Amino acid sequence: MDQNTGPRRAELIGDTLRRFVRRGARANLSKLLGKTRPEDVALQFRRLTPAEQITVFQILVTDYPEGSGAVLTELEPPQQQALLEELSPQQIATVLDSMSVDDAVSLVESLPPELHDKVLEVVDLKDLAEVQTHLTYGDDTAGRLMVPEYVALSEDKTVGDAIAFIQQSTELDNIFYL
């Protein structure tokens, strides 16, 4: 395999994103975003102007809410803040709903106080309870850092069963076993 395939592909994605934004080709942009991994989209944000970033992110929120949360977690806090300031509280809630609780907590903490309160008003009550519970723990404590999702298997399962189950499960950030 050619060593430059990865960099060339990334450059092609970035150039195509910019071209679609400049042409106002929303449908094409949406299709490209749907076919591109969130990590790759986030990587290309460096090549976009702030206005282009906002356009791309708003399409992500509308068309691929689950991808918007994944893209946002890959960005630096100042970039996250700039994008979130362009969204309505309801749109931010949509993004939060697609994120793991620990990522959502970090994001909510970074919001300015007035936006923080508005967002918490429109977040799904179940998710709000989880986020607010996490917010009660002190910074850098186990409670603040923990991820409440887990996989539990009965003792009669084999290692093969466990591996197969984990592979079929949704995306897992970290896997620890006892």
Q: Cα separation of 77 and 67, whole Å?
A: 17
Sign of CA dihedral 122, 149, 33, 6: positive
Q: Is residue 159 part of a domain?
A: no
Q: Is residue 132 part of a domain?
A: yes
Quote the domain boundaries for residue 110.
5-148
Q: How many residues are present in the chain?
A: 178
Q: Is residue 138 part of a domain?
A: yes
Over residues 113-157, the pLDDT tens digits come to 877 777 777 776 455 566 667 667 777 777 666 666 667 788 898
Encoded tokens for 172: 């897992």
CA angle 123, 126, 128 (to 5 degrees): 45
Residue 19 CA: distances (Å) to CA of 8, 10, 58, 154: 16, 14, 17, 52
pTM, two decimal places: 0.66
Domain containing residue 144: CATH number: 1.25.60.10
Q: Is residue 10 part of a domain?
A: yes
DSSP-based three-state secondary structure for 128: helix
- CA 170 from centroid of its chain's CA atoms: 14
Nearest CA to 53 among 35, 33, 34? 33
Q: Cα separation of 104 and 75, whole Å?
A: 14
Over residues 72-114, the pLDDT tens digits come to 989 988 888 889 888 888 888 888 888 877 788 778 777 788 7
Q: Is residue 91 part of a domain?
A: yes
